[in-house]
Amino acid sequence: MSLGGLGGRAAWEAMQPKRRRCERCGLYYRESLDRCRWCGDLDEAGLARLLAKKERVHRSNKSLGQIFFMIAIIIAVGLFLL
């Protein structure tokens, strides 16, 4: 990464609002808010649905990552054998 890239990233991060991790749901929200924007208005049943959805998305992303990793291995082996 170039020095300009590092400086640009630092400037970009400095402009982003500060975030806090919610103790209830584990998602991030802006520090300027009084409560979590994701679960602040939810009852226990709503929170359970939110956490189940979060887990499904996590599993889906993990599976997709594993598929891309296997494709990369197959391509690398194919290039090595040529």
Q: Are residues 14 and 20 in contact, defined by beta-carbon separation less than 8 angstroms? A: no
Query: With bands split at pLDDT 50, 70 and 90, how would you rate the model's confidence at 9?
Result: confident
Q: Which tokens sit at 21?
A: 């991790």
pLDDT tens by residue, 21-80:
999 999 999 999 999 999 999 999 999 999 999 999 999 999 999 999 999 999 999 999
Q: DSSP secondary structure string, 1-49?
A: --HHHHHHHHHHHHHSPPEEE-TTT--EEETTSSS-TTTTT--HHHHHH
Domain ranges of the chain: 1-41, 43-82
pTM for this one? 0.68
- Reported as a single tens digit per residue, the pLDDT across 11-33 is 888 888 899 999 999 999 999 99
Tell me: pLDDT of 4 over 70.
no
In sequence order, the 6+-apart residues with CB closer than 8 A to the CB of 37 are 29, 30
**Residue 29 near residue 20 (C-beta atoms within 8 A):** yes
Amino acid present at 8: G
